[in-house]
Amino acid sequence: MNRDKELRKNIRYDVKGVALLHNPLLNKGTAFSYQERSLLDLEGLLPPHISTQAEQKMKVLSTVRSLDTDMAKYIYLMSLQDRNETLFYRLIIDEIEEFMPIIYTPTVGQACQEYGHIFRRPRGMYISNNDKGCIKKILKNWPRKDVDVIVVTDGQRILGLGDLGADGMGIPVGKLSLYTVCAGINPRKTIPITIDVGTNNEELLEDPLYIGLRHKRITGDEYDELIDEFMDAVSETFPNVLIQFEDFANQNASRLLEKYRHNYCTFNDDIQGTGSVILAGLFTAMKNLESSLSEQRVLFYGAGSAAIGIAQDIACAKEMAGTPSQEAKENIFLFDSRGLVVKGRNHLTPNKEQFAHSIAGETNFLEVVKKVKPTVIIGVAGQPNVFTKAVIEVLIQENDHPIIFALSNPTAKSECTAEDAYRWSKGKAIFASGSPFNPVEFEGKTFYPGQGNNAYIFPGLGLGTVISRSSRVVDEMLIIAAQTLGNMVSQSDFDEGRLYPPLTNIREISIKIATAIAEYAFDHQLAQVSRPENIEQTIREEAYQPDYISYV
């Protein structure tokens, strides 16, 4: 196969014997043929039976399904990834609905909380404030120079769990796995990175098994100088790489995005990816309710980076549809820890100020719901059970089909459960969550709650950016991704309560999004390579497939 020949060009044939078996990107385990075993000094190092990949998958699938807890399954799957990456991706791609919740949300949250205790083998790179002045040199230690995507975190706001410091590495590792599973980004061309600047988590600082620096977080100019050096070093070491910021705290996420987005190919998934996937759910709802975004009154519980990102995407989508800029923000309301965000309130950040309204303040969320009369409520504050029965009963008094997004992760942080939403709304709610919920039976009907999973957006966005070598990620790309995703939800999906297509279609979804993103980049002079004759065909041909290559 031509693909095998191309891959063999990049494989060092001096990696043989035990060293080859310990290289997860090259290892095939018992699937090495007799000829390969002879060529690669593997004779006697493996059992004599030559396994097919299907046989190997059968074995690991049986093993992982026999484990009692999701955490045990996570640890087993990570160990599989550490010894045979191709087999790992074959398993996850084939059984994505079963194992995505294991390798990412919600299980990855618990994995990060216990990361130092379950740590077996390092993945990716760790850069700390001790490395200031040496980051470029350190990045050159990475064994492969052709890198397409980096996911980086400083571990300060992991999911809804807070400051986990260096233990947050589970997030970039998991995100990059999804880039490969969902969009076919080659795992050889990705790097998960944690920037360790300390932690303010006292429990971690006192934990003898914590893997990070044992001091409080650095802040201010010292922090900014480190991130500046990192961005410069990455762009010089890995030209054209896409840098995804992940789980930075609110005080840093938005300002770093604005600081870097115009000069680097970068985006923040918590802000832009979340905004895009929720916008896609709203597009789906609007299409099936025969309504429009301009008719909706949206109330956020939470006013952090995720809320701002979603709000800005909604406003941007309205503007792209012809609504004037200021008018696009008029029916978007924020509720934070101090209550409704209103004009004249002290200490409003610029991000909140743009969505502040000239109305009386209110600190009780139920009273705000009564006052604002939202058609859409969106929870992104990590506060569980705040979408109460009373709140939902007020919603159904004003709306035939209230839209409820309970987005906080993990499941224990969700603003309400899917069952609560459907039962309290008497089956009228259009519901989506951040973590998965099981189907809900109500009055003879089965509802399949949608999961507003960023995995619907960021892999396709990344793939389209990589294929086009776009110099930047711009807001319009996120809107296009949302529109593309929303258009892939069928009427039958919506009738069953789904706001998103089944995850089993995620590869096709990502290819369609990537094609749309690449087309935009080529059409708007953002691409840095020649336009292929057929963009979608090129994407399909270049997508990574977890098939063993032949070494002979």
Q: Would you please indicate which residues are annotated as catalytic (active-site) residues?
A: 104, 175
Residues 6+ apart with CB under 8 A from 465: 242, 265, 473, 477, 517, 518, 521
List the one residue out of 232, 245, 239 whose CA is nearest residue 145: 239
The Cα-based distances of 140 to 143, 236, 238 in angstroms read 8, 10, 9
Q: Which of 489, 542, 486, 483 is nearest to 511 (CA)?
A: 542
Three-state DSSP state, 27: coil
Does residue 350 have a cis bond before it (omega within 30 degrees)? no
CB atoms within 10 A of CB 86: 24
Angle CA 157–159–165, to nearest 5: 40
Are 115 and 210 contacting, i.e. CB atoms less than 8 angstroms apart?
no
Distance CA 365, CA 343 (A): 18
Residue pair 42/32 in contact by the 8 Å Cβ criterion: yes
Rounded-to-integer distance, Cα 274 and Cα 354, Å: 19
Distance between CA 162 and CA 206 in Å, rounded? 17
Pairing state between β 339-340 and 266-268: unpaired
Longest distance between any two alpha carbons in the chain, whole Å: 79
Helix (H) or strand (E) holding 476: helix 475-486
In degrees to the nearest 10, what's the CA dihedral of 137, 141, 144, 145? 10
Question: Quick one: CA torsion of 284, 285, 286, 291, rounded to 10 degrees?
Answer: 160
Distance from C-alpha of 218 to C-alpha of 208, rounded to nearest angstrom: 21
Burial class of residue 67 (count of CB atoms within 10 Å of its CB; 0-12, 13-18, 19+): middle
3-state secondary structure of 477: helix
